[in-house]
Every structure is written in C-alpha cells, then in structure tokens.
Amino acid sequence: MISVDEALTRIFAQIKPPAAETVPLLRAHRRVLAQPLTASHNQPPFDASAMDGYAVRAAEVLPGRPLKLAGTSQAGARFVGMMEKGQCVRIFTGAPLPIGADAVIMQEEATATGNQISFAKAPRPGQSIRRQGHDFQRGQELLPAGVALTPAMLNLAASANRPELPVTRRPRIAVLATGDELVPPGNLPGPDQIVASNSFGLIPLLSPYAERVIDLGIVADDRPALEKVLLDAFDQGIDVLVTTGGASVGDRDYVREVLVDLGVSLDFWKLAMRPGKPLMFGTRGKTLVFGLPGNPVSAMVTATVLLRPALRQLTGHSDPFWPQFGVALAAPLPANGPRRHFVRGTLSRNEIGFLQVTPIAETDSAHSSSLALADTLIIQTENDSGQNVGDIVDVILLSGVS
C-alpha cells in the first residue's frame, strides 16, 4: 500500500507533454492554451478618448471662455486634419484623439451655444485619454501557456486579433462500471441488486478534460464479457480507461486479472487513503488505466483526488491540483488514523464574512447523499491528532469546478 503523494508521483511519471492543435476562437472556451498568447499590435492602436465629450488643448481652456467647434471624431471616423488654436472637437468614447489635442473634457462639464463651446473648469493634460498601447503593446505576452481559457481571456485574444488559438489536445476516455449487482437507472432492481450510479458522476467530472467520454455501460462479473468489452475499448485507441468495481480481492473481482491478461502493466493497486483504498493504476501502451473502487463515494473521491489532477496534467494545465486552498474549520475535526482522510465538508461564511468549512460526520464510502451535499473534501493528513475550530485546513473544492 502506497501513499497518495507517491501514487500521484507515479501517475505523473507516465504522462507525456500534451500535443497541440489549433482551434477557432469560438471553440476555445475552457481549452488549455498550448503556447503563450502575444500581442501582434498595440491596443488601443492610437490615442483614444475614454468618454464622450470634447477634445481640447488643456492650456487653452479657461472657465467661461468658449472654444470654436471644429468638427467631430467618432469611432471608425476620426477628425481629419489638425485642431487649430482656439478650437475644440466633439469626440466620442473610443474615437481617435485629434492631432493637436491633449485632453478630453466630459460632455457634462461643457455648455454648447451654437458652435461655441465653453467649459466649467480647465482640464489637466492627458485627462480622459487612453494612450496608444495602454491595454497592451506589440510583442507583449498576454497569457501564459497552461491556462484554461475563460470568456475574459477569449475576449482578450480577440482584441489581440487572434482568430485561432493553439490549445492542448484532450484525451479520449472510456468509463466502465462492473458488477453483477448493478442495474441501470430506471430499472427495477432485483432482491440482491442496486441501481448503478458511478458512471453518472464520473462522466461529467471527466468531460471537461476529454475530447470524448465513451460510456462502456455495465458489465457483469464475467471474465469473457469483461475481456471483450475492455479489448474493444483498447482497440478504439482510447487514451484513458476508467473502471469502477472489481478492483478488490474478492473471488469475483476479475477486473485486475483481466486487465493484466490484456497487457496492462500495473503500477499499484492499494492506496493509504480513505475512502478509496482499493485503487489500481497501470498502463497499456499509451493508455492510462485507472481501476476505481465500486462504492460510489470512494469512486468519486479517488477520481477527484487522483484522476482529475492526472487529467489536468495530461491536458497541460499549469496547476494540476487547482482548486485547492486553505480555509478555517467551523467545527472540530477528530483525530485520523494511518490513511490520509478526505473528509466531506460544507462551506459557509462566518460572522465577518470569511469562508469556513464544517466537516460532515458521515464517513461511509457508500453514503452518496452526504457527498452530494458536500462543497469540499477536507484533506486530513495521516495520523493527524485532530484539528480545532479556527484551524486552517486544506480543502479540494467540489462544486463549480471544471
């Protein structure tokens, strides 16, 4: 049995740097940038007005003394020529600053009488002007490689005149549930059966990191049936295989034996963590193979702790362990034994508005309802003597993550 940290090290050692592909900007949301994004031009490309108003020479403006309106500068149609002495130009937000102007006065501080414009007070030079290159300059690195592209980042890329972006390739993932006792949702279980649930949590958990997730369905504890389904999956060229159930040491836990027979080189199959001790990891050529426990909470927790970071590493994320951060305990955390414990927890705000986490007392590995109510997994280290209210603990965020 190995530690969680050693397991992650061994998994990461099998992951090669991701290949890249180029996709249109509109298909790049949540994809991981494969190369730094650099600016090909200055933004704005000229000195521009930051508001609607009048472009002036600051030194010529005296309260109550009018300037002559010489014309208009608007976005897409600049004022042509040079603004002469004693003149001003009507200007709109984003429009190029006329030659000769060095300030903009907002329209609320101006009074127009025909083509005579007077102002309440004198501006300072540079007032309400966005200088050329204020946002970014040609050759500047705007985004580093390894970021998952957000809407704001895509907006920036468009501003940088990039219609396409190089992003990392995502793996093809196959998910298989095993067990004689399982029936699909919507079916009436027999007297010794239960409704299968693991794939319905795992597939959406893995999908943000996948080109495609193939649901291999449910296979009974039958060696020939398992061999056929798994061999078909390998023949499809999948990059990651995820199985649930059959990973323990029971007489009918065939998954490990079948995987080995099909050429999978197993690296480890027991972890010092709870929930989720019986977890397999191995490789078959380029395919990463994860055998998760069958209990629903164990399957989801091991996927969150090990599989999600592995997929983030596989897809080139700069931080494979995001989102993980420290937060104060709102209730005591009892002592832990020799296995790292991932305790279900709920987030709230204390009386001054700071985040805090309350441990959920339920620890059963098949208690799905408690996991569904959890916002986080509290990471409790091996042989921890317990933690008090207010102590800072590391948590893995569960909700709103991709």
The pLDDT tens digits along the chain (402 residues) read 899 999 999 999 999 999 999 999 999 999 999 999 999 999 999 999 999 999 999 999 999 899 999 999 999 999 999 999 999 999 999 999 999 999 999 999 999 999 999 999 999 999 999 999 999 999 999 999 999 999 999 999 999 999 999 999 999 999 999 999 999 999 988 898 999 999 999 999 999 999 999 999 999 988 999 999 999 999 999 999 999 997 665 555 789 999 999 999 999 989 999 999 899 999 999 999 999 999 999 999 999 999 999 999 999 999 999 999 999 999 999 999 999 999 999 999 999 999 999 999 999 999 999 999 999 999 999 999 999 999 999 999 997 665
H-helix or E-strand containing 6?
Answer: helix 4-13
Q: How far apart are CA 317 and CA 302, in angstroms?
A: 20
4-17+169-314 folds as Molybdenum Cofactor Biosythetic Enzyme; Chain A (3.40.980)
Residue 60 structure tokens: 């010529």
Same fold for the pair 20-43+135-168 and 324-397: no
Residue 250: the pLDDT is 54
Backbone φ, ψ for residue 298 (5° rounding): -60, -40
Instruction: Determine contact, residues 286/256, Cβ cutoff 8 Å.
Output: no
20-43+135-168 folds as Molybdopterin biosynthesis moea protein, domain 2 (3.90.105)
Residue 263: the pLDDT is 96
Which sequence spans correspond to the domains of the chain? 4-17+169-314, 20-43+135-168, 48-130, 324-397
| Architecture, CATH, for domain 324-397 | Beta Barrel (2.40)
Distances in Å between the Cα of 246 and the Cα atoms of 78, 227, 276, 284 are 71, 13, 13, 19
Residue 373: the pLDDT is 96
* Domain 48-130, CATH among 3.30.565.10, 3.90.25.10, 2.170.190.11, 3.40.710.10: 2.170.190.11
H-helix or E-strand containing 248?
Answer: none
Residue 81 structure tokens: 């020529």
Residue 64: the pLDDT is 86
Residue 247: the pLDDT is 64
